[in-house]
Amino acid sequence: MRRGTGIAVAAALLCAPPSARAEKLVTSLSAHRVMITSNFTGVDLTLFGTIETDASSVGRTGGYGLVVTVTGPRQPTITWRKERVLGIWVNAQSRVFVEPPSYLAVLSNRPIDDMASPDVLRRLQAGLTQVQLPQRVGGDIADVNADDPFRAAFLRIKRAQGLYREQANAVTFLTPTLFRTSIPLPANVPIGEYEVDVKLFAAGTMVAQETTAFEIIKAGFEQFVATSARDYGLLYGFATMLLALFTGWLGAIIFRRD
Amino acid sequence: MRPFSIGAGGPRSATSADNALQIYLPIADLPVNVFFILMVGIVVGFLSGMFGIGGGFLLTPLLILIGISPAVAVATVSSHITASSLSGVMAYWRRKALDLALAAMLLAGALVGTAGGVWLIALLRAAGQLDLAIGLSYLTLLGIVGTMMVVESGRAIGRARRGQPAEIRRPGSHSWFHGLPLKLRFKQSKIYVSVIPVWVIGFVIGFLGGLMGIGGGFLLVPALIYLLRVPTSVVIGTSMMVTLVTMASATILQSITNKSVDVVLALILMVGGVMGAQFGARAGLKIRSEQLRLLLGLLILAVGLRFAFDLVVRPEDLFTLQIPGGMR
């Protein structure tokens, strides 16, 4: 995360003239830890923020563009394409995506394409079409062009799962400088560390950036079961088997008629 | 294979209903509706009690359809079958309608087979071909067994209508494997056969159980009847005994190898399954055995056709995502 911030700040310095860096973002998340318990069915986190301005930033034309990017823990993912072989559909071709985010939400107050030039957006990886999803091609690791079918399929499936999203109306300005957005975390959200990156655009450049983070963890019983299954497979299996035998035995006793 | 595409759907139908009934599954990593899963357990339990089968060949595809990954479905169903077959075994035990010696010999092969099946799952998952393998094995197995059962029971029903004796047990007709060595007499079953075909049958049942999350009752019952000529009276009890032990060990093996047994899901299914099985067993006693075999054959064929459909018809989305080592 440190490194990511460093790159972003460097990018900000490159693409924003010094005079435009007068705004400052102050943000606050409604929670920094989301617990997955047995009744977890998804949750919305709320992000509040203000834009602090000074004399040099007064009188901007065109208003602010705000992009909130939420990035979940990274996990290697294989995208398969089926082909018809001997009359049946089988997974034939695959591409390995190197550590793409398991969750990615890009929330903004208006279409991102209007906020800056495509070059700037690509450099800042602002928006789903601009985010880099490097693939392993042979021995090399490279991102492919945006219309690559595997990349498109990856984004489409992730969207269908509710894990990737891009919403151009998700950030609401309550006053010209006070904004809020809610980060939707669906029921199938992966556990781990999440990074929230807020970018402020004005007049075609990024004028301020702020990052914060939260984590999603399993808690209580869910955590106990998941840890036991992972770390004590034999014991877990044995306990499950005993539970099964007990349930079966109990059923036979309860329902016995003769 | 649409329901088996690991990425394409995610949790669907099970997530929509009332929040109060939702429970988050710690291993499958998704919330499900408790009553919905309980109902699935009851229905499958009813059918398994009625036909004297574990019901795995119905339950595993159903769970995958709900959005649970094949690896978790296969592993969790094994613990469900353990529970439902124990209550069955106890009922047949009281009626002394099982052959322990035959069950023990079948198990000798079955346990080796189960370990092999569980190991193969791990291998196929790593290669990204688990969906296909499960689809193909279900299609092949259910297609063959279903067709055979429908044809055979249809003939038996025809014979019964024409007033001919329904029993096709001919003590004089010997198959080729009756010439094999290591012959043993199984008193309860009134058969005298070599243990080699018994071990082989056991191995195949165990292997498929580990790989496909099926108890194998629907395979073992006809194998015992048609190949070993075990009388119908002890077949179901013996088959359930084998299922019980193979599935109990599959539960442990899956927990060690694939870490994909979801105990919460298993418990809900078990409770439903045990309840359903009791009523199913009573319903089964009221139906003639060849009619029961015809019904089971049709059910097996239907599930097989469903798999065939998914394999042959062009999928809506040709692409799927796989997270190596992940449950989803």
Segment B156-178, tens digit of pLDDT: 888 888 876 655 554 445 566 66
To the nearest whole number, what is the mean pLDDT of chain B? 80
**In contact, B231 and B237? CB cutoff 8 Å:** no
Average pLDDT score over residue span B170-194:
69
SS3 for A224? helix
What are B142-159's pLDDT values in tens digits? 888 889 888 888 888 888
To the nearest whole number, what is the mean pLDDT of chain A? 83
Q: What is the ipTM of this complex?
A: 0.78
| Per-residue confidence (pLDDT) for residue B277, from 0 to 100 | 79
Are B128 and A94 an interchain contact pair (Cβ–Cβ within 8 Å)?
Answer: yes
Compute the Cα dihedral for A156, A161, A163, A167 and give only its sign: positive
- Closest Cα of chain B to A172: distance in Å? 27
Are B266 and A240 an interchain contact pair (Cβ–Cβ within 8 Å)?
Answer: yes
Contact with chain A for residue B136, Cβ under 8 A: yes
Are A245 and B252 an interchain contact pair (Cβ–Cβ within 8 Å)?
Answer: no
- Closest Cα of chain A to B275: distance in Å? 7
What are B245-261's pLDDT values in tens digits? 988 988 998 899 888 89
| Per-residue confidence (pLDDT) for residue B194, from 0 to 100 | 81
A144: exposed, middle or buried (Cβ count in 10 Å: 0-12, 13-18, 19+): middle
Cβ of A85: how many Cβ atoms within 10 Å?
Answer: 11
B164 vs A70: which has the higher pLDDT: A70
Average pLDDT score over residue span B206-232:
83
- Residue B307 pLDDT greater than 60, yes or no: yes
Residues on chain A touching B122 (C-beta within 8 angstroms): none
Cβ of A224: how many Cβ atoms within 10 Å?
Answer: 12
Q: Which of A79, A83, A87 sits opposite B321 (nearest CB)?
A: A79
A73 vs A88: which has the higher pLDDT: A73
**pLDDT confidence band for A47 (50 / 70 / 90):** very high
Q: B34-51 vs B263-285: helix axis angle to the nearest 10?
A: 40
A63 vs A75: which has the higher pLDDT: A75
Q: Which of A77, A91, A225 sits opposite B129 (nearest CB)?
A: A91
A·B CB contacts under 8 A: 205
- Residue B10 pLDDT greater than 50, yes or no: no
Average pLDDT score over residue span B13-19:
44
Identify any residues that bridge with A94 across adjacent strands, giving them in sequence order. A80
Separation between Cα atoms, residue B47 and residue B154, nearest integer Å: 20
Query: Which of B36, B37, B320 would you mutate first to test chain A, the one with the most A CBs within 10 A?
Result: B320
**pLDDT confidence band for B308 (50 / 70 / 90):** confident
Q: Which of A69-78, B299-308, B311-320 has the highest mean pLDDT?
A: A69-78
Query: Which residues in chain B belong to E strands, given as ranges?
Result: 22-25, 30-33, 183-186, 191-194, 319-322
| Per-residue confidence (pLDDT) for residue A241, from 0 to 100 | 93
B286 vs B12: which has the higher pLDDT: B286
Separation between Cα atoms, residue B135 and residue B212, nearest integer Å: 9
CA atoms lying within 13 Å on the CB side of residue B272: 22
Separation between Cα atoms, residue A71 and residue B74, nearest integer Å: 32
Average pLDDT score over residue span A146-168:
88
**In contact, B80 and B273? CB cutoff 8 Å:** yes
**pLDDT confidence band for B222 (50 / 70 / 90):** confident
Are A249 and B90 an interchain contact pair (Cβ–Cβ within 8 Å)?
Answer: yes
Separation between Cα atoms, residue A175 and residue A172, nearest integer Å: 9
Q: Which of B266, B267, B311 sits opposite A89 (nearest CB)?
A: B311
Altogether, the residues listed in chain B come to a count of 328
Least trusted range by pLDDT, from B12-16, B102-106, B238-242 = B12-16
